[in-house]
Structure 1
Amino acid sequence: MRSDEETKAIVIEAARHAFAGDGYAATSTEELARSAGISTKTLYRLFPGKAVLFEAMCADRLERLLSAVDLQASDEVDIETGLRAALLACADLALDPEVVALQRMVLQESAAFPELAANFYRNGISRTVKALAGWLRVQVKKNLIALDDADEAAGMLIGMVASAPQRAAIYGGIPLPSRKQIERRVHICAALFLDGCRANSP
């Protein structure tokens, strides 16, 4: 017999694929229940509605990011190495093909299902910014960087590292960057943030 937590994990995994592939409106709870090998009654006991399941799926998807960013807030790495690791964790999530597919779905269906956009923002964009802002505050306390607003800086950093490739994929049909391209972008963004790019006066 599976525990409720194990069953939830299976349902969330099935929902990830169904929402990204078929869209929110076209995905039925009956199909999700069948995919997870449970009854519809059990599905509704675990997740009272499709919107609740979508929210749980978004929250679950971010645990990898949150743990990755938290692990870098230590004394064992220098500020540039730590920032690259934190930004790479953000980029890995923001540029994950399934996450981009979900974002495309949210944009397409948010007019009919406005709770989708709110849930995606709350459990996706907002939590990602909060996680990186927490990492930045640790660095401020160590006197390694100086910031007036860590939340604002985190939003700028995530925008710099991920927004352009996301938009290119969603609106332009351009393939998502390779791992090597993401790492290069992360290195450039970290250097811009820490060192700037103004040329020295002759």
Structure 2
Amino acid sequence: MVEIQIIERRPRGRPQLRCDDDTKSLIIEAADAQFRENGYAAASINAIAQSAGVSTKTLYRLFPTKADLFSSIVSDRISRFFLALDQSTLATMDLRQGLERLLTAYGMLTMSDDTIDIMRLVIAESDRFPEIATSFYETAIVGSNAFMEKWLTTQCERGLIRLEDPHMASGMLRGMMIMEPQRAAILRQLPPPNIAEISRRARICAEVFLKGCQV
């Protein structure tokens, strides 16, 4: 009997140890730390790649420009905010409970240490790099406002609240929730509020807001 040996051909090069999504997450985490520590202009692509454990070739394949990296950092934060506020979960809550949940999650997103650092970076470097201001505004500010506006519109359609302009009301509600403590933190006058302080502020904001629009 003749034995037939089958030689398995292996792909050339080193085997891929992780998928692109996992690699992107590592790069985003490393870039976030680099931007926060050194600023946008001084952030080193080589240092980001080294910290993430990837080659610069891989980094540029996944993120062709530094602006793409920054945009992905902002998108990653907003995605976590949306995941924490699934619309189907909010739909099971009563009006006040849902609004408090929404405001608490928004406060935790916008007044965290890392978000405060990113906002300082945008303010400091947007004159030289207007693309980071555009990215932050469109992804973080417009995106979160649209989510809140959609929730308010739904409550209007349910007949629970009455608003002349849900879009404008959303902006006012967001400002009431974060403007004073966030500005104080950005200007290094006060530390960002802790979870208990954010929750208390969300409760008070929800109470004030609903007194003005609840049917």
99-108 or 167-176: which moved more? 167-176
**1:68 partnered with 2:80:** no
1:42 is matched by which residue type in structure 2? T
- The normalised TM-score by structure 2 is 0.87
- The match for 2:170 among 151, 154, 160 is 154
- Matching residue of 1:8: 24
147-156 or 65-74: which moved more? 65-74
- Matching residue of 2:115: 99
- The normalised TM-score by structure 1 is 0.93
- Matching residue of 2:158: 142
Root-mean-square deviation (CA, aligned residues, Å) is 1.1
- The match for 1:122 among 138, 152, 169 is 138
Q: 1:148 to 1:69 in 2, by over 3 A?
A: farther
Mind listing any 5+ residue stretches in structure 2 that lack a counterpart?
1-16
Instruction: Please list the CA deviations of residues 147-196 of structure 1 after superposition, one character each: whole Å capped at 9, or x if unmatched.
Output: 12212111111111011111001124311112111111111100110014
Query: Is contact 1:70–1:135 with CA below 8 Å preserved after alignment?
Result: no
Greater than 2 Å deviation, 4+ residue runs: 67-73
Query: Is contact 2:34–2:44 with CA below 8 Å preserved after alignment?
Result: no
Deviation at 1:122, TM superposition (A): 0.9
- 3-state DSSP class of the match of 1:173? coil
**1:113 partnered with 2:134:** no
- Matching residue of 2:95: 79
Q: 1:54 to 1:81 in 2, by over 3 A?
A: same
Mind listing any 5+ residue stretches in structure 1 that lack a counterpart?
197-202
- The match for 1:131 among 147, 168, 179 is 147
Deviation at 1:141, TM superposition (A): 1.4
Q: 1:137 to 1:73 in 2, by over 3 A?
A: farther
2:182 is matched by which residue type in structure 1? Q
- Matching residue of 1:164: 180
Query: Is contact 1:69–1:131 with CA below 8 Å preserved after alignment?
Result: no
Alpha-carbon distance in structure 2 between the residues aligned to 1:156 and 1:57? 26
- Matching residue of 2:196: 180
Percent of counterpart pairs with the same letter? 43
- 3-state DSSP class of the match of 1:73? helix
185-194 or 137-146: which moved more? 137-146
1:7 is matched by which residue type in structure 2? T
Larger Rg, first or second structure (1 or 2): 2
Alpha-carbon distance in structure 2 between the residues aligned to 1:51 and 1:180? 35
